Structure 1
Amino acid sequence: MIKVRAFNAVSSSSDIDELWTLKFNTIRKVNCRDYTQAQVKAWAPDSLDRENWIKRVSEMAPLIAELDGVIVGFADLQPDGYIDHFFCHLDYQGRGVGKTLMKAIMEKGARLGVPRYYSHVSITARPFFEHFGFTLVKQQSVEVRGEVLTNYVLEKRISM
């Protein structure tokens, strides 16, 4: 059974490297279906600024999905409804990890009174988000380390 827990910066410092590895491998080995090699290398560079990543993860306070003690995904929800990160381990895709994380995000949002969820999603992730009721706001081109990537701003409005 997939369990979701909150990241705790004090007790979960060992999670930092696992989260980066999961994100890195997902981008390099899954998103490569929709982006060029140069684009995925820019998005998930070989060298990691670990201090910056520690700061970023601590600030975003992600929800972490685990299966049998293995981190299989993570996602975050910011107070304004922004989902900045949403990654599922490449070896566990199609096994309910994303669905479990999305449910946890929606539950957290309901507790926070979020009326609108939104995210900048990859070409790869767009069908997943649309499956959960997100709709297209706009397509955009973003520059990452000198490479231009296409992504989509998607949103989901909640009736209050």
Structure 2
Amino acid sequence: MSDVALSIEIRPYQAEDAAALTDIFYAAVHGPALQYYSQAQVNAWAPLPPNYAAWQARFTAHPPFVAVLDGIPVGFMTLEPDGHIDVAYSHPAHQRQGIATALYHYLQAQALTLHLPMLYVEASYLARPFFAKQGFSLVRENQVERGGQILVNFSMQKLLKHN
């Protein structure tokens, strides 16, 4: 593990995180996701300008776990009561540094504490290899319409083993 990964703090969402997490979402979708999706698809997925109020309401309703590096949020991931991972994003400047892995390990520990039987996610092309590495299996490929564009994602699941 790198020194960067060792200094990652995972904590619950705080209201003052909303703008930074919204910016992380937009940076991730309008940056690395362009490897797999067209500009039109990315614009439909994350329309500009960012709707900060809508994201704040979403985070309040479904608080994510937040990865913090040197006091600054660099990633987030949500765990819904039924085991659904709705969003999982890390800032492009901090990708491949253990941010998503640290978030996922924290989330999985929470899921085990809650005795959830499984976790599931609809992963983008970009996120699919990450979740596969965490032990998720492909269930199906999906085509989702957003803003007149068809986006492909992948339903994946992982059965949890309880002691």
Contact 2:22 2:52 in 1 (8 A): no
Q: Equivalent residue of 2:11, what SS? A: strand
| Partner residue of 2:159 out of 154, 157, 160 | 157
CA distance in 1, matches of 2:48, 2:135: 34
CA distance in 1, matches of 2:75, 2:51: 21
Evaluate the alpha carbon distance shift between residue 13 and residue 159 of structure 1 in structure 2; reply closer, same or farther with a 3 A threshold.
closer
Q: Does 1:2 align with 2:4?
A: no
Q: CA deviation at 1:145?
A: 1.2
* Aligned pairs (5 A) from 1:47-126: 47-126=49-128
Contact 2:77 2:89 in 1 (8 A): yes
Q: Equivalent residue of 1:151, what SS? A: strand
CA distance in 1, matches of 2:15, 2:104: 24
CA distance in 1, matches of 2:148, 2:112: 38
CA distance in 2, matches of 1:104, 1:93: 17
Q: CA deviation at 1:133?
A: 0.2
Q: Equivalent residue of 1:149, what SS? A: strand
TM-score by length of 1: 0.94
Letter in 2 for 1:120: E
CA distance in 2, matches of 1:137, 1:44: 25
Q: CA deviation at 1:50?
A: 3.0
Q: CA deviation at 1:53?
A: 1.6
CA distance in 2, matches of 1:58, 1:48: 17
CA distance in 2, matches of 1:60, 1:13: 12
Q: Equivalent residue of 1:14, what SS? A: helix
TM-score by length of 2: 0.92
CA distance in 2, matches of 1:70, 1:48: 20
Match of residue 129 from structure 2: 127
CA distance in 2, matches of 1:117, 1:99: 15
Query: Which runs of no fewer than 5 residues in structure 2 stay unpaired?
Result: 1-6
Letter in 1 for 2:29: I
* Aligned pairs (5 A) from 1:139-158: 139-158=141-160
Q: Equivalent residue of 1:119, what SS? A: strand
Q: CA deviation at 1:47?
A: 2.6
Query: Which runs of no fewer than 5 residues in structure 1 stay unpaired?
Result: none
Once the two structures are superposed, what CA deviation does each residue of 1:119-140 show, in whole Å capped at 9, x if it has no partner? 0010111000000000000001
Q: Does 1:42 align with 2:44?
A: yes
Contact 2:128 2:154 in 1 (8 A): yes
